[in-house]
Structure 1
Amino acid sequence: MEVSKRAGTFVPVSAARIQFQQLLDRHLELTAGLSENTLYQRRSVARKWLTPKWETWPVADITRNLVELWIEELNADGVGSGTIQKVYRLFNATLNHAVEDHLLQRNPARGVRLPRARPAQRHPYLTFDELAELNDAMGLRYRSLVTFLALTGLRFGEAAALRVSSIDLDGRLVHIDSAFKEVAGRLSEGDTKSHTIHTIAYPPILDAMMRELTSGRRGEDHIFRSPTSRGLRINTWRRRFWYPAIERITTRRAAESARTGQVPISFPDVTPHDLQHTAASLAIRAGAEVVAVARMLGHADSRMTLNTYAGLFTGDLTAVAETLQRDMSGSALDHALRSADLDRGFSP
């Protein structure tokens, strides 16, 4: 006991009998530097996944084997790997605090292997023609919003928070410093997802639209508003405007198919967030590099951009291969690779 006290690893018996929920509640009170949305998500994870399983468990009785079995159960029940990672991070952080407060000698969850992330599904990207079809189905009120999202890459909450003063019409620039978030049914304005302030440029084709959206309005006015002139809520907007527009497209295509006798071509299964993916795909197709696309999307790290859209940068690989071929032309290696002797070297 004396040795463990000197080493700082001694844990009183009374402390070891503390129940997990007490530690979890204490951990959730640590709110410094966290957004309201992050806090809400943490509490939701705790309420749905941690409390039902571990609420009354004495922390001293939680073993590594129990944690591993729990993770395996979640995976076997079909819980997504992303969700398991979120649940584990909060569980692990809670036990880490217990160690730091000398309520546990070691964290039994530390280093537990998690299920491998399932391969991400390919994002749907709209073409210019499909965007035109979507705009027509949206009607006049939000046609400009859909166009703006698809050509600039802003997130819905960022676009909803834009004010007239955010737009530099002469420079065709948009300054993004806040975003709307809906937390527990309440709309609030706060930092962007990446907690950064950034600036993007919009294409000249949007000049007339942006001037019309800002004309005669005060600097503090929001550019995109709800029918009641309040802030746009993504869930309400999706239900009242987005889904009906997609349904109109489906109906029109079915009618055209019946008229022509051809098999109907389904419209891509897209969400409002996929407009950001569309903007990225259009920018990459136009020749934008990874860093430029990352800045446009407000990614704090260009690695995130590359991981998300790696499959779209194949043009860069082709360009590298063609440059390599051009530089090698006429060299000794070029002659060797073209020679019959080298070909025979690969024969069985």
Structure 2
Amino acid sequence: MRNDRAGIDDRWHKQVRRPDGTMATERSSVYGKVTRWRVRWVVDGREHTKVFEKKVDAQAFLNTLTAEVVKGRYVSPHKSSALFRDIAEEWIEGKSARAPKTVAGYRSLLDTLILPRWGDVKLSGITHGEVQKWITGLSVNGSVRTEGKGLSASRVIQTHQCLSAVLKYAMRTERIGKNVADGIELPGKGQSERRYLTHKQLQTLAANTERFQTLTLVLGYCGLRFGEAVALRRQDVNDGKITVRRSVTFVTGKGLTEGGTKTGKIRWVPVPAFLWKRLKAELPVDADALVFPGKDGWLTNGEYRWQFDPAATKTGVEGLVPHELRHTTASLAISAGANILAVQRLLGHQTASMTLDRYGHLFSDDLEQVAKGLDAAGRKATAV
């Protein structure tokens, strides 16, 4: 193994020993024929070179190189010459423990958007400026495969996150010294208007879905995601509570697949008494039987939407989608006095801050009412 070292060579001159033993500088055989100054360095047993016209430039490069080695940020050129495609495949192979839908999402982003642009580019050839230009172009002109049609802000953000994740992996495996996808300006997603149904609207909507009435009420009052409701089995519903432990999702190339919840956590959701009476009467006998089955096993989104969409139009909330019923759950729970943590647990959000970001505006900000409450409590304590 060659020792790590670095230095600058003057390729136009060489040191020679005279007959009397003294050293002298003479022109080399390549004098004036090659670039004069050459930086040579050995790291991890490999020698690398880079040439410069001016010595000052060679010295500046050597100084930077030395600093990178000392800071532990140096990346050998032979490692950074790996193609992005190869590193991306390594990265996604390590995601086998993730939910199938998540992996399928990564695969789709790589195959349709990222690899067509960056697949055959060396890691060392990917620059911050080029990534920024590409990301901006996705919003305006789309990708190589969708040229002329800009992508949604959400899709662009997902694409950037996937690209950045691969580059972070490249950093961890010492292929690059920094992630050039950091600090990229991304498009704003824009806040879509949320619709919150009243009790009357929700119950009317449910009635209009006919055979899916109970399912619609569960989605609207218990806040389950559609896939979580589809995965429910008789053993998950007892004593006025629903145990949410699984979810059914559609995975490209695999169809409907059962897995854990979105957060990977089990949660317990109370069912309002009036709804529990209805739900209990419709529960199957077999503990392993599906609570809301479809015609051929798991209920599909399409089968449900066949009834739900016309029901939404008939109810006066045309365009409403099943997932929006979670907004109604949050709204009705907050109006009933639930706090942020209760709503978080009800909906199965990862953090309370996520719940606050989405539904904080539904909580009362009447400071005068707060003052009145403090005054009443203070007077009571003084009287005692």
After TM superposition, is the score higher than 0.5? yes
- Equivalent residues, number: 306
- Match of 2:322, SS? coil
Aligned-residue RMSD, C-alpha: 2.4
- How far residue 273 of structure 1 moved from its aligned partner, in angstroms, is 0.5
Find the counterpart in structure 2 of residue 149 from structure 1: 219
- Match of 1:196, SS? coil
Listed as ranges, the matches of 1:1-348 within 5 Å are 1-2=41-42, 3=66, 8-77=72-141, 78-115=150-187, 117-139=188-210, 141-169=211-239, 172-184=240-252, 186-214=255-283, 217-228=285-296, 230-238=297-305, 240-247=306-313, 249=314, 266-314=316-364, 319-323=369-373
Q: Deviations over 1:91-143 (max 9, x none)?
A: 1121222223232233222233333x34312211111222232123211x211
Alignment partners' CA distance in 2, 1:246 and 1:285: 23
- Match of 2:243, SS? strand
On the 8 A contact 2:227/2:247 being kept in 1, the answer is yes
On the 8 A contact 1:20/1:57 being kept in 2, the answer is yes
- How far residue 23 of structure 1 moved from its aligned partner, in angstroms, is 1.5
- How far residue 328 of structure 1 moved from its aligned partner, in angstroms, is 9.0
- Match of 2:167, SS? helix
- Alignment CA distance shift 1:92-1:218 (3 Å): same
Find the counterpart in structure 2 of residue 343 from structure 1: none
Q: Which runs of 5+ in 2 are unaligned?
A: 1-40, 43-65, 142-149, 380-384
| TM-score normalized by the length of structure 1 | 0.80
Query: Which one has the bigger strand percentage?
Result: 2
- How far residue 54 of structure 1 moved from its aligned partner, in angstroms, is 1.1
Alignment partners' CA distance in 1, 2:301 and 2:371: 44
On the 8 A contact 2:309/2:318 being kept in 1, the answer is no
- Match of 1:314, SS? coil
Q: Which runs of 5+ in 1 are unaligned?
A: 251-265, 330-348
On the 8 A contact 1:138/1:241 being kept in 2, the answer is yes
Question: Which has more radius of gyration?
Answer: 2
Query: Which one has the bigger helix percentage?
Result: 1
- How far residue 14 of structure 1 moved from its aligned partner, in angstroms, is 3.5
Find the counterpart in structure 2 of residue 339 from structure 1: none
- How far residue 279 of structure 1 moved from its aligned partner, in angstroms, is 1.1
- Match of 1:303, SS? helix
On the 8 A contact 2:312/2:318 being kept in 1, the answer is no
- Alignment CA distance shift 1:166-1:120 (3 Å): same
Find the counterpart in structure 2 of residue 345 from structure 1: none
Find the counterpart in structure 2 of residue 341 from structure 1: none
Alignment partners' CA distance in 2, 1:62 and 1:189: 38
- Alignment CA distance shift 1:203-1:91 (3 Å): same
- How far residue 207 of structure 1 moved from its aligned partner, in angstroms, is 2.9
Find the counterpart in structure 2 of residue 336 from structure 1: none
Alignment partners' CA distance in 2, 1:131 and 1:245: 11
**Identity, % of aligned positions:** 28
On the 8 A contact 2:309/2:320 being kept in 1, the answer is no
Q: Deviations over 1:214-268 (max 9, x none)?
A: 25x111111111134x111223422x22223335x17xxxxxxxxxxxxxxx435
